[in-house]
Structures are given as C-alpha cells and as structure tokens.
Amino acid sequence: MLVMGVDPGLTRCGIGVVIGTPGRAELVSAGVIRTSPDLDIARRLLQIEAGLEEWIAAHRPDAVAVERVFAQHNVTTVIGTAQAAGVALLVAARHGIPAVQHTPSEVKAAISGSGRADKAQVGTMVARILKLDAAPKPADAADAVALAICHAWRGSASARLAAAAEATARPRTWSQVVAARGVS
C-alpha cells in the first residue's frame, strides 16, 4: 500500500510517502510544503493545497493519513493546523483517495511501542524502520513519514475491522430492522 502522510501546519506542512505492509515499510519521498507567515491565511491554505496536489499527482497514493489535531495551549496554532488538515482531507477526497486521521499518540505507539514517545524517539524509530542513517529532515517531514508508516501498519486493518463491525451491526432486511428495534 502506498500511503502519503500529512503532518499539517501552516508554516511547514510535512509530507511523507511510504510503501508498506504491516511490519514493513520503505521510504518513497519526504519533504515539506512551506508558506510564509507574511501571507494572509487564505493564500497560505491555497499554497498548501497546490503543494498537496503536486505530491498526489507525483505519487498517486492509495491512502492519505493526516494527523488528527488536538487541543494545544495556543488556540491560534490549533486553528491554523486544523485548517491545514482540512485542506489535506479535501484534496484527498477530490481525488477519491481514502483519507484517515490518526492521533499523535496512536502514531507514536505504532512507531515506537509507546504512545508517550518524544519526537527524538519517533525520529530514531522512523530511521530504524526505514533503514536510514537518520530520520528525514525537518522534523515535520519525519512526523509525516511516521503517520504514513502508522497507517500502512495499522490503518488498513483498522478500517476493515470498523467496516465489518458496522456492516454486522446494521440491519439489512425488514425483519432484521424490526427485530433490532424490538417491534413484533
């Protein structure tokens, strides 16, 4: 599975592309989309969209994994990060590519075995998993690669399990609907 990971951010949006299966991963490409803080937010989001379009056109991923934004102390940073994440999800949807979000602790656990690993530990494990001398630079690119690895290792299986659980929980026939609602 070819997965593009996106570590959303307004100044540096990390991108990492890996090809992987559970337990195996190989780096295809990593980098960042940069925008200037001097530009207004709309222009910055437009630049992120254009950059993501280029990455998708160049690599044609099977899935896009985006870091789920969580509350931080700096609300302005959270809002900008969430907007960049939204652009990534929109671009993936435009191309018909399944897009999922993974929490930082989920990514850390998949990569290092601990949901509380720090950035240095994650970077070290990304390098080790990919058999690289060092983690991709800058850190935003390494984080995006970690997201892609996490999804290649966990995401597809999780998605299949969730779909199966939903399918079995949802009544399919009229008699199943009636039985599920307790109506006779």
Which residues are part of the catalytic machinery? 7, 67, 140
CA 6/CA 141 separation, integer angstroms: 8
Give the three-state DSSP class for 33.
Answer: strand
Q: What is the 3-state secondary structure (H, E, C) of 86-148?
A: HHHHHHHHHCCCCEEEECHHHHHHHHHCCCCCCHHHHHHHHHHHHCCCCCCCCHHHHHHHHHH
Residue 153 is encoded by which pair of tokens? 């290792």
Please list, in sequence order, all residues whose beta carbon lies within 8 angstroms of the beta carbon of residue 179, skipping any fewer than 6 positions away.
171
Does residue 138 have a cis peptide bond before it, meaning omega lies within 30 degrees of 0? yes
Rounded to the nearest 5°, which phi and psi values hold at 101? -115, 140
